[in-house]
Amino acid sequence: MSVVQMAKIKTPPPAPVTDAGAVAAVRAPVSAVPPARDTVRKFLQWILPPVLGMAVFVAIWAMVAAVSDLPGPVKTFDTAVQVFSDPFYDKGPNDQGIGWNVLMSLSRVGIGFGMAALVGIPLGFLIGYFGFLNRAMAPIISVLRPVSPLAWLPIGLYIFKQAQPAAIWVIFISSLWPMVLNTAAGVTQIPQDYRNVGRVLNLSPWKLFSRILFPSVVPYVLTGVRLSVGVAWLVIVAAEMLTGGVGIGFWVWDQWNNLSVQHIIIAIFVVGVVGLLLEQAILLMARRFHY
């Protein structure tokens, strides 16, 4: 049965014969779209544009590959099937499955970001709350924030003498600023109404913090967290290229040394998908705190 046929069956029975009723009966098949057809149309409207976009992208990729040395979609896909068929093999420190590499990168991001959150969120609160501290920190943050995170890598290597903590150090520095700045902005933007409630009730400092300040800043904190994780994930690839070890960034560098361009393309997709998943996870969490 076609969609049009379904529509005809659901047409309402003829209305009593009045002028208005006649008009309504004529109009009914056009205006009253049956729910089933509506759902199908909505689904198509939702799925079609992204599918089309992907198709065009793959087509352009294939065309570029046809006139250059770049591996095309089919060749890359074949390699990807191999790579993902055994993601967790372990043949010594320099030859591990892509799963291990991604997990190692994620753990570095997790540790560096976690420490940055422990420092950045309380620091942001203090900066937002105390105008003096805000003005004291402003020049430092303004100067340090635009510095490329990788510029901190030599400092990390010098201090820690090891690649692993140096990479984590870079993640720490790069994910610190978004959380500090967003938390501070959130504190300064607590609505006066909520502050007044706290003032009229004369709440104790702890109650004021836990019932009014913190909940109203949470959405800003989560924005900072989202930006921080995004930056951290961007930076880890570059940091690992320089520090080596197991990790998706070093994996890319290793494949470049092997001149295996398909693997590099696969890595780009993997990095993109993992980044997307991280962001969506945080957005999902943030929705819970959208008052």
Question: Which positions touch other proteins (CB under 8 A)?
Answer: 193-194, 196-197, 199-203, 207, 211-212, 215-216, 289, 291
Nearer to other proteins, 73 or 219 (CB): 219
Least gap, CB of 120 to other proteins (angstroms): 22
Two tokens at 269?
Answer: 């997709």
Least CB distance to other proteins at residue 191 (A): 8
Nearer to other proteins, 223 or 262 (CB): 223
Q: How far is the CB of 226 from other proteins (least distance, A)?
A: 20
Of the two residues 21 and 191, which places its CB atom closer to other proteins in the complex? 191
Neighbours of 63 (CB within 10 A): 11
For residues 115 and 218, which CB has a smaller minimum distance to other proteins in the complex?
218
Residue with Cβ nearer other proteins (196 or 280) = 196
Name the minimum Å distance from CB 192 to other proteins: 9
- Minimal distance, residue 270 CB to other proteins, in Å: 38
Tokens standing for residue 211: 């019932």
HEC profile of the chain: CCHHHHHHHCCCCCCCCCHHHHHHHHHHHHHCCCHHHHHHHHHHHHHHHHHHHHHHHHHHHHHHHHCCCCCCHHHHHHHHHHHHHCCCCECCCCCECHHHHHHHHHHHHHHHHHHHHHHHHHHHHHHHHCHHHHHHHHHHHHHHCCCCHHHHHHHHHHHHCCHHHHHHHHHHHHHHHHHHHHHHHHHHCCCHHHHHHHHHHCCCHHHHHHHHHHHHHHHHHHHHHHHHHHHHHHHHHHHHHHHCCCCHHHHHHHHHHCCCHHHHHHHHHHHHHHHHHHHHHHHHHHHHCCC
Least separation, in Å, of the C-beta of 224 and other proteins?
18
**Which residue lies nearer to other proteins by CB, 151 or 201?**
201
Radius of gyration of the chain (CA): 28
Q: How far is the CB of 186 from other proteins (least distance, A)?
A: 14
Nearer to other proteins among residue 15 and residue 218 (C-beta): 218
